[in-house]
Amino acid sequence: MSVRCGIIGAPNAGKSTLYNALTKSSVPAESFPFCTIEPNIGSVAVPDARLEAIANVVNVDKVVPVVLEFVDIAGLVDGASRGEGLGNRFLSHIREMDVIAHVVGCFDQQTDWRADIETVNLELLLADLGTVTRAIEKTGRKARVGDKSERAALKTLTRIMNALENGERASSVELASDEVDTVRQLHLISAKRKFYIFNVDESKLTHSEFSNPTHLQGNPAVAICAELESELAEMPDEEQELFRTEIGYDRSAIDSIVHAAYSVLNLSTFYTFNENEVRGWAIARGTTARQAAGRIHTDMERGFIRVEVMACEDLISAGSEQAVKKVGKLRIEGKTYQPQEGEILRVRFNT
């Protein structure tokens, strides 16, 4: 189970350096434009101390964390949507992502990072505009031969086109429930949730200019130092922690990024365990117990009877499932129950 995160930004923003640090792989990161030629896909376990704690209590060795999947593509330059540079070739990979991480390089005094943000965002809008325009042509042909649903779709698409032409993201267009599918099918980049990653100089990590910028249209931002992260990635875990404490920056890039991705996607984590493993799952808040069961296995959703729920803190402090039951903190819930952050679920179902 993974959350897919597409890394975009201007050339030399530090995307590959960050990607390497996160995935500890070795994608070449060099200071010339378009160092990244093929998109790179890598996975990172979401750090989660609760998994280990649960595993301890229930006495299993194997923990399966939530995974963040990253795709690193080439930088987007002015004109990318018309085929300039290489970034555009990989936008199709970004279309498959759940969330967009826009890396902004500000470690070098010379870069005009505000202009870089504008350029990248404009190219993304133009790329979406191309997608919508093609969809309108196709839908228009069908609408002319009198298909009613195609005529409705055409109206929706035209509204999206107008918004994009006004420089607004597709996500800013309010859609009626019967319009959602038409837009979803296009996988527009500007319809996706996004957050900014400011790649700053180590000395500026705690600068409020970057940790709390106000000009990002409500999209959250985190500040990291890709170079520092790539040095830390080489160290053993305990050393990394010491180092971070020493420089007064105790939040790792992956923690910040997970936090941002969870917040823009409105995700929460629940857990399951059996005699073999403890597993973490990320679901959108508001997902029902039955839908959550479907994430584990489609049979569980189909044959759903009820779910037994406990807070992982209760299990950890009580020391066993039996003890949780004894103090009356194991609850039985039905299919419409909405699991809360940190709960452990045991789904009962008919096979």
> Which residues of this protein are in contact with ligand GTP, per CB under 6 A?
9, 11-17, 29-31, 33-36, 74-75, 107, 199, 225-227
Q: Which does 283 bind (CB under 5 to 8 A by kind): Mg ion, ligand GTP, none?
A: none
- Burial class, 175, CB count within 10 angstroms (exposed 0-12 / middle 13-18 / buried 19+): middle
**Which CB sits closer to ligand GTP, 109 or 166?**
109
Q: Which residue is nearest to ligand GTP (CB)?
A: 75
Compute the least distance from the CB of residue 176 to ligand GTP, in Å.
39
Q: What Rg, from alpha-carbon coordinates, does the chain have?
A: 23
Contact, 13 vs 116, CB < 8 A? yes
According to DSSP, residue 180 is labeled H
Q: Which stretch binds Mg ion (CB under 5 A): 11-19, 144-152, 192-200, 331-339?
A: 11-19
**Which CB sits closer to Mg ion, 38 or 178?**
38
Compute the least distance from the CB of residue 278 to ligand GTP, in Å.
35
Compute the least distance from the CB of residue 163 to Mg ion, in Å.
30
Q: Which does 227 bind (CB under 5 to 8 A by kind): ligand GTP, Mg ion, none?
A: ligand GTP
Residue 304 belongs to what H/E stretch? strand 304-311
Compute the least distance from the CB of residue 261 to ligand GTP, in Å.
19
CA nearest to 72, candidates 11, 126, 122: 11
Compute the least distance from the CB of residue 11 to Mg ion, in Å.
8
CA nearest to 101, candidates 193, 217, 224, 235: 193
Q: Which stretch binds Mg ion (CB under 5 A): 2-10, 12-20, 293-301, 309-317?
A: 12-20
Select from 20, 36, 40, 81 the one that contacts Mg ion (CB under 5 A).
36
Residues ≥6 apart with Cβ < 8 Å to 230: 17, 18, 20, 21, 29
Contact, 105 vs 17, CB < 8 A? no
Is 199 a binder of Mg ion (CB under 5 A)?
no
**Nearest-angstrom CA–CA distance, 121 and 248:** 33
**3-state DSSP call for residue 155?**
helix
Is 16 a binder of Mg ion (CB under 5 A)?
yes
Compute the least distance from the CB of residue 113 to ligand GTP, in Å.
12
Compute the least distance from the CB of residue 8 to ligand GTP, in Å.
9
Sheet bearing 62-64, strands edge to edge? 62-64, 277-284, 267-273, 343-349, 304-311, 331-333
**Which CB sits closer to ligand GTP, 1 or 37?**
37
**Nearest-angstrom CA–CA distance, 69 and 42:** 6
**Which CB sits closer to Mg ion, 14 or 280?**
14
Encoding tokens for residue 63?
């923990």
**Which CB sits closer to ligand GTP, 233 or 305?**
233
Contact, 4 vs 96, CB < 8 A? yes
- What residue ranges bind Mg ion (CB under 5 A)? 15-16, 35-36
